[in-house]
Amino acid sequence: MKYSVTTVMLPELDVLQTCILLQSLGFDGVEWRVRYTSEEMRRKGYSFWGAHKSDLSPDNLQKRAKELKNVSEEHGLTIAAVASDVRAGDLETLKKLADGVSLLGSVPIKVAPPCWYSRQARYQDLFQEAVEAYERSLEVLKPYGLKALVETHNNTIAVSASLAYRLVARFEAECIGVIYDVNNMASDGFETFRIGMELLGDYLQHCHLAGHKPVLRGSEANGVARWEFEACDLINGILRVDQFMEDLSSVAYEGFISIEDFRVGDPRENLRVQLDFLRSLEEAL
């Protein structure tokens, strides 16, 4: 297995600091966050979903691509993916990303569906909108030889492996793939790991992994229990990570497993614990 880290979880580190940390812990790759940050979010300081010290964006990626590639390589890290929040159909932003990402090599770009899921819209309509948006987006990426990645993500029309497959199966696996995100499927879209992996086949091209567990937070006004999910160590999560690793091995997965750990605390210690646990599971296969 190959292990990487999404830098979404490392807002207080710059590019060099990030690579030094990941190399020291023994990671194989890095998934760089490349997103716009509003001035309002910058004023609030560094945070997972706000300002980042690395400050990579679609506007500056082309200028900083050489730095990003060189520093990653100098620390023995493969660039596993670009963690953008660009939406399918946003062709202007996607073109900017492609101009920069193409200088990094054959690095896939996470491209989200054109909108969040809404119960006010029919799934069939949202699906058709997504298919058409991805068609246009893949045409933008095609001249660069780059591919898009669709993440299994709650509150989208791709919450599970099978729903993501229904979307990407309209296109060739050389152009688009799926990020199999275990964290999101803890709360929405869970399907038996191996079934989803086998269904995805060649479209299974990247993984996200973190621990989550349900916590009872009282009840709604009508008395229904209100459960929320909080981040935890992989070993304590609700999903069987040992089974996940075994099933990945059974389908001969060769991509990256990227850790996403959005907890307050020392990221070095959090990452060390998760990586040691995954290595121990791999050794037991």
Domain ranges of the chain: 2-284
3-state SS of 134-168 is HHHHHHHHHHHCCCEEEECCCCCCCCCHHHHHHHH
Q: Which residues of 121-145 are buried (b: 16+ CB within 10 A; e: fewer)?
A: eeeeebbebbbebbeebbebbeebe
Identify the CATH homologous superfamily for domain 2-284: Divalent-metal-dependent TIM barrel enzymes (3.20.20.150)
On whether the CB atoms of residues 68 and 103 are closer than 8 A, the answer is no
Reference 115, options 85, 148, 149, 71; nearest CA is 85
**Per residue in 18-38, pLDDT tens?**
999 999 999 999 999 999 999
Return d(Cα 232, Cα 172) in angstroms, integer. 36
Reference 114, options 96, 143, 93; nearest CA is 93
Mean of the per-residue pLDDT values of the chain:
97
Query: What's the pTM value of the predicted model, to 2 decimals?
Result: 0.97
Return d(Cα 205, Cα 80) in angstroms, integer. 10
Arithmetic mean of pLDDT, 100-128: 97
Residue with tokens 């670009």: 82
| The pair of three-digit structure tokens given for residue 115, joined into one six-digit string | 């909108």
**Per residue in 28-85, pLDDT tens?**
999 999 999 999 989 999 999 999 999 999 999 999 999 999 999 999 999 999 999 9
Amino acid, single-letter form, for residue 185? M
